[in-house]
Structure 1
């Protein structure tokens, strides 16, 4: 009788463990996708939310959320970008409309982010709408998702 109970418990344990492992793996994958989406959405928002009064902080936010090629390219253009925004006294308020992960693995992801912004300046006080779609490649560096490549989708 004791042997039968041990065998029954072993069978039950074998029947319970794989579904539990699948649920844990699915939850972990969902957490990864959420973290990827949150980071990519923030990159898109940071790229389109600028103000001539806070432009140094604004560009630093973009740089702090980036790595690799994208960070190098953005950093190389930052001085010119700051000068243009400041000279034109431009400001941009943005919102992320949608974002979706198109592909990912443990340490990289590809995300499409749609952003809408209104750009204002003294010459355009009522603002000009700008709608952009970005393809952002994300890399996981030290547990944090950062933008490593960036492109505009036409």
Structure 2
């Protein structure tokens, strides 16, 4: 009788262990499968957000600033919205500024479930009514992102 109970307990423990191992393996496989998708979403959000923040036209600057704000969150959203309204928009309208940015390269530096850091290299061309020949500039940006309601949004953007 004791042998049967020991066998039953041993079998139960083995089944529970196998179930836990299977669940752990499934979770790890699922995480590994999601990692490239998450990294792609993070990279796209960093690239698209950088371009939106640095691109605007004198004739649509208010809408351009509003569009760029849709890629931002937290204190950076507050800062950018105020800076855009107080500095970018008036200067763009007064001087006929057109700023066009493109991403030349980017990489995810680190990521976790709800935050990430990306390095983005940007080329920017700027023209204005008083300087119609494009002025080219290149910059490197360290971008911090947070996942908010399923979207990756820029929470900090620092030139480096």
CA RMSD of aligned residues (A): 1.9
| Shift of residue 25, structure 1, vs aligned partner | 2.0
Mark the runs of 5 or more structure 1 residues left unpaired by the alignment: 1-9
Alpha-carbon distance between aligned partners in 2 of 1:81 and 1:121, rounded to the nearest angstrom? 13
> Which structure 2 residue ranges, 5 or more long, are not aligned?
1-14
Larger Rg: 2
- The Cα shift of 1:73 comes to 0.8
Q: Which has the higher mean CA deviation after the structures are superposed, 28-37 or 120-129?
A: 120-129
Counterparts of 1:78 and 1:127, CA distance in 2: 22
State the Cα deviation string for residues 77-102 of structure 1 (Å, max 9, x = none).
12221001111101022211011111
1:54-88 C-alpha deviation (Å, 9 max, x unpaired): 10111011111101011011112122210011111
The answer to whether structure 1 residue 28 and structure 2 residue 34 are counterparts is yes
SS at match of 2:113: coil
Contact 1:67 1:148 in 2 (8 A): yes
Equivalent of 1:40 in 46, 52, 57: 46
Q: For 1:12-43, what per-residue CA distance to the aligned partner results, in whole angstroms no more than 9, with x for missing partners?
A: x99xx577654432220111100000000001
TM-score relative to the length of structure 2:
0.80
When normalised by structure 1's length, the TM-score is 0.83
Q: How many positions carry a matched residue from both structures?
A: 141
Structure 2 CA distance for aligned equivalents of residues 150 and 112 of structure 1: 10
